[in-house]
Structure 1
């Protein structure tokens, strides 16, 4: 397959999967494995995540600007920012200490990705059908305990295939949030989490980064931005109407197909 086509496919998949509970990392690792695509120093894989991150900033720019400018004298804005930091903190601690193990062991084992996709899909189906009356309907007003516990759930996504958004959404549902606000908070939590992860990856791999394939990186970046933009704008309404079952079944299907291909020697 031509490199430009592989870059386009990977960019589209990154944007489509980053903010839905199907694990963008899992999809990228499996696709990269089966397409035989890997950039020097993971430059491509790191940079195109910024395209998805830019999509979140674009959609929520006005709200983010309000938070950034009003937090010094607005108690509600200040409380939400503190809640985000509380939710973000566990990922910082665990991510720094477990970075080498995650990158050199978990990320190099496609079988782990497939099983994580399947198990996560089954759990997401169970959560989607759970008859639990939501207590917290506004992501801006979760108790600090909920913010912190959702942050702990997010750390499960350090296992590739679990899904960062899936882990945070599942945690939220178990803690009494409704589906829409759980998905929305996952968007906001993506900003510090993804930003820090990309920055840390760049720092760790700086000496190995190779931007000689700037064209391929640009293709992937733009594809990730455009598709992520569409997903962010449509996801909340989709979840409100359909729940998370479609994503759960997709996870299971991808995991099963991936295992089949791996056992077949691909």
Structure 2
């Protein structure tokens, strides 16, 4: 893995982490195309640079993170389902991360869902995070578990989950951003622990690449968040749905025609 790979993957992470298009799916495909996906450090890198992206949420919404203890309680409650499922099915999740075909299928199916989500949930009652109850937060947390299937998109799953619980687009998107903080922090910490447990030791070069990747992801993610919220309020989800369908269809088509996009 070289600096060019780092820059490309970090930009992809920053753009896609909070959009309903699957950052993990995009990085799996990108690293596979670049021929570096089988490297254990690359697999760690694609998870670890999510930390830079989620720190952009804390930076942009810092006032929300200082407002009340109840805010953190709701995030913790929403985080519980993913934490439990992550521990119980970690090996199966890791196996799915090896499959570009899984990414293609879930991108395609998720795209179809996004085409209709604005029509399905068009009578929102909750406009701000403070109106979200603990029970509603818990229900949204179960939707987040769907994102353990690569290509689903954590952002898409939690936003759709929020809208299903009568949150409007903006409130659902922002709660998805907030929930990313404990979720992605835990995922990064676990990946770093597993990397160390397997006997890997970071080289000075790898530490530098991780630092550069996180900084780039942080900057790009800030721009992406601001743009996404504005776009979402005006246009909704259909364009993201069509994007997912096209990308998913291309990936499936390439694999079925014999192209090697598998990450193993």
What's the TM-score, normalizing by structure 1?
A: 0.90
1:121 is matched with: 111
1:73 is matched with: none
Query: 2:162–2:172: 8 Å Cα contact kept in structure 1?
Result: yes
Which of structure 1's runs of 4+ aligned residues deviate more than 4 A? none
How far does the alpha carbon of each residue in 1:82-122 deviate from its partner, in whole angstroms, 9 at most, with x for none?
2111111101111011111111x211111011000000110
How far does the alpha carbon of each residue in 1:177-231 deviate from its partner, in whole angstroms, 9 at most, with x for none?
1001000000100011011111111111113253433443344223211110101
Distance in 1 between residues matched to 2:179 and 2:79, nearest whole Å: 7
Aligned residue for 1:108, secondary structure, equals coil
2:28 is matched with: 29
2:40 is matched with: 40
Query: 1:46–1:202: 8 Å Cα contact kept in structure 2?
Result: no
2:225 is matched with: 232
1:185 is matched with: 175
Aligned residue for 1:116, secondary structure, equals helix
1:208 is matched with: 200
1:4 is matched with: 3
Query: Please, which moves more after superposition, 212-221 or 175-184?
Result: 212-221
2:76 is matched with: 85
What's the TM-score, normalizing by structure 2?
A: 0.90
Query: 1:40–1:209: 8 Å Cα contact kept in structure 2?
Result: no
How far does the alpha carbon of each residue in 1:46-104 deviate from its partner, in whole angstroms, 9 at most, with x for none?
3311211221121112331x23xxxxxxxxx233222111111101111011111111x
Structure 1 residues 121 and 138 mapped into 2: Cα distance closer, same or farther (>3 Å)?
same
Given the alignment, which residue of 252, 257, 261 partners 2:254?
261
1:72 is matched with: none
Query: 1:7–1:219: 8 Å Cα contact kept in structure 2?
Result: yes
Distance in 1 between residues matched to 2:143 and 2:89, nearest whole Å: 16
Distance in 1 between residues matched to 2:141 and 2:40, nearest whole Å: 32
Query: Please, which moves more after superposition, 161-170 or 40-49?
Result: 40-49
Query: Please, which moves more after superposition, 38-47 or 192-201?
Result: 38-47
Shift of 1:127: 0.6
Query: 1:80–1:141: 8 Å Cα contact kept in structure 2?
Result: no
1:102 is matched with: 93
Unpaired segments of 5 or more residues in structure 1?
68-76
Aligned residue for 1:135, secondary structure, equals coil
After superposition, the CA RMSD in angstroms is 1.7
Unpaired segments of 5 or more residues in structure 2?
none
Distance in 2 between residues matched to 1:136 and 1:62, nearest whole Å: 20
Shift of 1:245: 1.3
Query: 1:121–1:248: 8 Å Cα contact kept in structure 2?
Result: yes
